[in-house]
A = this chain, B = another copy of it.
């Protein structure tokens, strides 16, 4: 039996600092659960001067990442530098050398997960990535192990804390997107360049990972329809309220009849849904499974300690395998590589949904009938209408909630309606999840 497990970190930023703190402060707990200590042998970062509030033995820090990858004693290499390259090369080289690896790099896994997983399976090593989705929520373990018997039908995730913080603030305080974004940046809840978050790409990365684990089919990022939160307005949030709904940025994936769909966009959901109650920077993943019905996993989506905890749980998991010579006991993609089902990926225009449509139209007789006429011709039927705020000669919002309709029909109808002269602005479309009443 090994007397300790030796790990090396590449990257010593926020998450690595959290993981190192936990490894140091919970040394006793880890030993009592694992049976031996996890020892930090080497940490590589370009900045080895800055204090991270943790004390490390001399010689642990290095600026050379390859020292970690090549270190003969290191059992597990933890990659926490983010981005595609050189993170990808470091992981592949570590795997090639027979090292177990851990990463929280969702962008990398979404784009190159297949390559990394394949290399790991061939070499018989483990890839831990609990930290890549939902920080302190052990959702990766849940899908791969706790729900291993479950045929999952759908995933609805609030997986980006920045977007959820912004939408929560906009909802609670009636503020505009740009105003709340500035505030979020000041508080450190949004990056200086928030594009990846607010544009939805970060959520799409995480959805790609969850979809792969839940359904066994990798969905290329470009096949995930992605819309961010930057176009959500206080007006639409207020109308959502009138329909008893909240607007959340949801990462949605569904599987049925040999096909899957995966998409990220602002979504109206009834305010009684638990997902509606997930506020601020919190994350949650709601799963629908054939046997379990539904389950929700909620917690902090990011941050040094929550994500650090996920990284250390991977280290413990993999260490348990090392101690038993059992690496590779769970396939990284949750299905055996040779047995991955190949589900057809639906294009966005094939999906069906309920829709919230906000037209900005001239306030004169006949407009409602013309718009609903075009919708009807495109097989879209309306479940309710709100028309408010008369303005002499001006434009007013005309809001409709549809029954279940096809995206293609809706898009075609809107492109016609948007060209009409009594419509002053492009129509706002927000997809709605809920019962079709």
Assembly CA distance A216 to B228 (angstroms): 44
Given known A22-B291, A291-B136, A296-B298, contact A313–B32 (CB-CB < 8 A): no
Interface 1/0 per residue, A276-312 and B, CB below 8 Å: 0100000000000111111111111001011011101
Interface 1/0 per residue, A8-32 and B, CB below 8 Å: 0000000000100010001001111
Assembly CA distance A35 to B334 (angstroms): 11
Other 14 A-B pairs with CB < 8 A, given A145-B316, A291-B306, A292-B300: A26-B151, A32-B335, A32-B341, A146-B310, A148-B316, A149-B309, A150-B309, A290-B305, A291-B305, A295-B298, A296-B296, A296-B299, A324-B324, A324-B326
Q: In the complex, which residues of chain B have a beta carbon less than 8 angstroms from the beta carbon of A147?
A: 138, 309, 313
Assembly CA distance A277 to B291 (angstroms): 22
Least CB separation from A137: chain B residue: B295
Q: In the complex, which residues of chain B have a beta carbon less than 8 angstroms from the beta carbon of A309?
A: 147, 149-150, 289, 291-292
A235 within 8 A of B: no
Assembly CA distance A298 to B142 (angstroms): 12
B336 touches A35 (CB 8 A): yes
A315 within 8 A of B: yes
Number of copies: 2
A151 touches B29 (CB 8 A): yes
Interface 1/0 per residue, A316-356 and B, CB below 8 Å: 11001101111011110011100111000000000000000
A407 within 8 A of B: no
17 examples of A-B residue contacts, CB within 8 angstroms: A26-B151, A31-B339, A34-B336, A35-B339, A130-B146, A138-B146, A146-B146, A146-B310, A148-B317, A150-B309, A274-B298, A291-B306, A292-B309, A293-B306, A295-B297, A320-B330, A325-B325
The listed residue with most B CB atoms (<10 A of its CB), out of A18, A130, A146, A331, is: A146
